[in-house]
Structure 1
């Protein structure tokens, strides 16, 4: 999900940065001579708000990454501010003209999906890693929590991942120590039968094709790929919520 920021607050953040960075570069002079200045109290104030301002710029300009706005130089005790100042001005300009631009440039009308509207089990487990931009790890953690949830529901802690799914969604009757998760409905209903068969295959595919690569793979998923994978896991989690637990008690 693309992050958003409240525009008036973002303007205040950017305006503060521009004002104080300009003042630091002037350093008491009437005109600016350099794109850098000496480190000191003025730059310390900027450093205190540097991370916040970087995040605002990143969201406003929809950038994948924003480098440091206060950049130490190798010689003497100087820091370079002009690059960050230019970015802040660009972001502030975007906020000022965004509404006007939207009147004349129309984008896609395709629906969007908020990540925090995914099944709570999936998003709550993934959110922190996602916010740190560890998208593959977020998918892996979400799948791990879903696996644990199914284990808790069925008591089958002797199995995990696709082997667990093969057992709990098996179309065979439940046995002692081998409960099933069943899509509710009449056993002869074609839609019910299709859901049960589909969940058996779908659930195994989730863990073989999503969790395993996220856990053992070396290629980091893009944000879009990871979001789509979280949506798949969310679908399975919602289906699990609808299932009935079928158990067989041991004979006394």
Structure 2
């Protein structure tokens, strides 16, 4: 919603309704007057703007016909519009006070393997080193599960999560499920791709670069390592 235009619409309504009702918005509005016709013309637009400003589904009544005579009342609509105006005018200030409503994630909620490896270096502000240690821990975990200590990271994950059948001395880590299930196939392919990407684009730069990774970027990298660790934890050990 365009807040500035919405404020203009509501200000016009309040101003016109008050004049039409005697100056304060509490008196009756007589029909068949120029001001009444102006309110009628703006009624639908004002109701829709007001509903969105207030977060309501139903359109509020702002021009009510009197049950006693042919006059109309605008007092309820004026009060609602004035409340909405205050809300729109102070919305940015309110957001600054309350802070962002975006979801947050704490680092210690990451997979324990990842956070335990990263926590000490993270707390001292060494974010690249924290990521490197977490990735090393994950690599070690895959080696422990497969027994393939002789392989480097690239060959390790390529063989551990290979879609080919296991061979003697070359076990696999497989997402559980039936081989012909499309979701299972997708998960197996995705884990292989993610594992290769993680070690190529996260661990290697963290290990070889002297540049310090920004805190937010490092946290996102740890989160990526964490979801991979959770998926690996669910994988079954399959041998020839």
Q: Under TM normalisation by the shorter chain, which class is it?
A: 0.5 to 0.7
CA offsets per residue over residues 133-177 of structure 1, 9 Å max, x none?
Answer: 000000000000000000000000011312200000000000000
- Name which of 118, 121, 133 aligns with 2:125: 133
Q: 2-side partners of 1:180 and 1:102: how far apart?
A: 54
Distance change >3 Å, CA 196–CA 109, structure 1 → 2: same
CA offsets per residue over residues 73-127 of structure 1, 9 Å max, x none?
Answer: xxxxxxxxxxxxxxxxxxxxxxxxxxxx989822210000010000000000000
How far off is 1:128 after superposition?
Answer: 0.3
Q: 2-side partners of 1:181 and 1:224: how far apart?
A: 31
Q: Which residue of 2 aligns with 1:16?
A: none
- Name which of 176, 184, 197 aligns with 1:205: 197
How far off is 1:211 after superposition?
Answer: 0.2
CA RMSD of aligned residues (A): 1.5
Q: Which residue of 1 aligns with 2:35?
A: none
Q: Does 1:179 align with 2:171?
A: yes
Q: 2-side partners of 1:245 and 1:183: how far apart?
A: 9
Q: 2-side partners of 1:221 and 1:156: how far apart?
A: 30
CA offsets per residue over residues 190-229 of structure 1, 9 Å max, x none?
Answer: 1100000111111000000000000001221011010000
Q: Gaps (5+ residues) in structure 2?
A: 1-92
Greater Cα radius of gyration, structure 1 or 2: 2
Q: 2-side partners of 1:207 and 1:162: how far apart?
A: 7
TM-score, with length taken from structure 2: 0.60
Q: Which residue of 1 aligns with 2:115?
A: 123
The answer to whether the Cα contact below 8 Å between 1:163 and 1:204 also exists between their aligned partners in 2 is no
Residue aligned with 1:237, SS: helix
**Number of residue pairs matched?**
148
Q: Which residue of 1 aligns with 2:40?
A: none
Q: Which residue of 1 aligns with 2:183?
A: 191
Q: Which residue of 1 aligns with 2:236?
A: 244
Where do 1:149-160 residues align within 5 Å? 149-160=141-152
> Runs ≥4 in structure 1, deviation > 4 angstroms?
101-104
The answer to whether the Cα contact below 8 Å between 1:147 and 1:160 also exists between their aligned partners in 2 is no
- Name which of 220, 223, 228 aligns with 1:231: 223
